[in-house]
Structures are given as C-alpha cells and as structure tokens.
Amino acid sequence: MSEPLALPGGTGDELARCAAKVFASPEGRRLLDHLERTYLLRRMPPQASDQELRHLEGQRCLVAHLQSLAARGLGR
C-alpha cells in the first residue's frame, strides 16, 4: 500500500479527519449544504461567458474537494 500523500498542514488522512470533524457538527453540515446549493447546484445561463463558466467550475471543484475530504474522514 502506498503512503498517504504529504500535503501542507498534514497528510491527506489527517486533513480528511479534520474536514470530517469540522463538517460533522450541525453548523458544519449547514455550511456544507449552503456551499453545495450555492455552487454545485448553481446553473449558469446560456449566455454566460467562458470566464464565468471557468470561475464557477473552480468554485465547484473546491466544494467537491471539501465534500470528498469530509466523506473520506468519516470512512465513506
């Protein structure tokens, strides 16, 4: 088995546990739900510029990464 990826602030497993702890509270869950509704479920109009679409995709990537870390920290 390979070693966990070394990341600034700790290993990937340590960061996953931190994310799980932060987002496991009712307040953290509410925040993650808000981020999901605001960025992951947001729809852009057909006339959106390439720049707007790229910006939104970056936001979605960050939210999805936080969700992934939290889920991994919870063993999902």
Mean pLDDT of residues grouped by 10 in the chain (76 residues)? 50 89 94 96 95 96 95 88
Q: What's the predicted TM-score (pTM) here? A: 0.78
Backbone angles phi, psi at 7, to 5 degrees: -125, 155
Q: Would you state the pLDDT for residue 10?
A: 62
Residues contacting 40, CB < 8 A, separation 6+: 60, 63, 64
Q: Residue 35 has which token pair? A: 């981020």
Residue-level pLDDT at 4: 47
pLDDT for 37 equals: 96
pLDDT in the model for residue 7: 53
